[in-house]
């Protein structure tokens, strides 16, 4: 499967259906993955949520129509999938900074967002160290937190980690850790474009104390990336590079289980030489 070719097929479908309803299940089918998987890959590669990209493209086309015709706002609202002129006008204002009726006036500055096309960018300025590892099913125990688009609040996960460090949970998890890799890690389950479960946990075969979440992660093949740098910056950069540079040319597909931000080493997480790993579940194309 040509990874970028399938992603671009999905974008062709989106572009062809900006006027009307976009079926996300069709988008995912064209991209040969699930809806949540496509949304996540899109956001990492394009650096924007899929829903926001669609909104911006629709408002770009709507602005063109307003300035070159006498179309009614209510007709534009229906055309671009909005339930009412008010909801359409709010979306238009958020994108262009003016309401639709004002946008008709000549001289008003509006924004145009062009269509995205995915392609491989060959940089070669920084290597990516990784290994492929198969791991049997294992059990984790820890504290789970539900986030609403944590990337919209970049400090949300950091605050969660800070709580775990400060309230004694980290030491409790370290004592509970009995599996490989040892330590306390971040387990990420992407539910949808806007919902993510993040569990700070250890791998263990011991019985967890009352109040902790515990579940089994199924047998998987993992691409394990060695990362170095301050966690709060390096982890974001690493995820983007994995999805935009490594995955498209790797010969693997993203497998939809759980991602791991793995911390097998001790040290200052804000230091430039701090080492950690990212475990990406993959499968052969």
- As given in the structure block, the two tokens for residue 209 are 């104390």
Q: What was the pLDDT predicted at 201?
A: 98
Least confident of 11-20, 48-57, 150-159: 150-159
pLDDT in tens, 174-216: 999 999 999 999 999 988 777 889 999 999 999 998 889 999 9
pLDDT computed for residue 163 by the predictor: 95
pLDDT in tens, 89-134: 999 999 999 999 888 876 678 889 999 887 765 555 567 899 999 9
Q: What is the tens place of the pLDDT at every residue in 71-85?
A: 999 999 999 989 899
Helix (H, G, I), strand (E, B) or coil at 186: strand
- Distance between CA atoms of 207 and 214, rounded to whole angstroms? 9
Give exposure, 11-41, as e/b (b: 16+ Cβ within 10 Å): bebbeeebeeebebeebbbbbbbbbbbbbbb
């Amino acid at each position: 499967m040509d990874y970028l070719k399938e992603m671009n097929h999905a974008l062709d479908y989106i572009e062809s259906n900006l006027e009307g309803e976009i079926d996300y299940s069709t988008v995912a089918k064209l991209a040969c993955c699930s809806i949540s998987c496509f949304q996540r890959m899109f956001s990492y590669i394009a650096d924007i949520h899929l829903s926001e990209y669609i909104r911006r493209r629709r408002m770009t086309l709507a602005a063109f129509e307003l300035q070159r015709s006498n179309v009614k706002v209510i007709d534009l609202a229906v055309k671009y999938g909005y339930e009412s002129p008010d909801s359409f006008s709010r979306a238009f204002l958020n994108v262009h900074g003016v309401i639709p009726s004002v946008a008709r006036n000549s001289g008003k500055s509006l924004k145009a967002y062009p269509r995205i096309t995915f392609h491989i960018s060959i940089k070669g300025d920084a290597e990516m160290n990784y290994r492929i590892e198969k791991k049997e099913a294992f059990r984790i125990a820890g504290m789970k937190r539900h986030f609403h688009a944590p990337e919209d609040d970049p400090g949300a996960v950091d605050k969660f980690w800070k709580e775990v460090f400060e309230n004694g949970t980290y030491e409790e998890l370290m004592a509970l850790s009995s599996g490989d890799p040892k330590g306390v890690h971040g387990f990420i389950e992407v539910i949808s474009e806007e919902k993510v479960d993040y569990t700070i946990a250890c791998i263990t075969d011991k019985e967890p104390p009352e109040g902790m979440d515990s579940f089994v992660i199924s047998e998987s093949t993992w691409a394990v990336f060695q990362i170095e740098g301050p966690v709060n910056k390096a982890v974001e950069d690493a995820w983007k590079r994995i999805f935009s540079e490594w995955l498209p040319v790797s010969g693997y597909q993203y497998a939809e289980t759980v991602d791991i931000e793995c911390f097998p080493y001790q040290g200052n997480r804000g230091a430039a030489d701090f080492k950690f790993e990212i475990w990406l579940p993959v499968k052969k194309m």
